[in-house]
Amino acid sequence: MAQILIVDDDHTIRAYLRAILEGEDGHQLQEAQDGAEGIRLYRAHPFDLVITDILMPIKDGVELIMEMTETFPGVRIVAMSGGGRGLEASFNLDMAKDFGAVRVMTKPFSPEDVRRAVADVLDVAEK
Count how many domains the chain has.
1
Distance, in Å, from the CA atom of 85 to the CA atom of 75, rounded to the nearest integer, reads 29
What pLDDT, on a 0 to 100 scale, did the predictor assign at position 77? 98
Whole-structure pTM value: 0.92
What band does 127 get if pLDDT is binned at 50, 70 and 90? Answer: very low
* Interval 31-72: pLDDT, tens: 999 999 999 999 999 999 999 999 999 999 999 999 999 999
Check residue 49 and give its pLDDT: 98
What is the pLDDT at residue 124?
A: 62
User: Nearest to residue 102, comparing CAs of 114, 118, 87, 91?
Assistant: 118
Inter-residue long-range contacts of 15-20, CB under 8 Å, 24+ positions, other chains counted:
17/51, 17/114, 20/111, 20/114, 20/115
- Looking at per-residue confidence, does 65 or 1 come out higher? 65
CB 118 within 8 A of CB 4: yes
pLDDT at 123: 85
pLDDT number for residue 24 = 67
CATH, residue 30: 3.40.50.2300
- Contact (CB, 8 A) for 7 and 56: yes
Helix (H, G, I), strand (E, B) or coil at 116: helix
pLDDT tens sequence across 110-125: 999 999 999 999 986 5
Q: Helix, strand, or coil here: 53?
A: strand
Give the range of the structural domain holding residue 49, as residue numbers without chain letter. 3-126
Structure confidence by residue, pLDDT tens digits, 66-106? 999 999 999 999 999 986 555 566 788 999 999 999 999 98
pLDDT score recorded for residue 92: 86
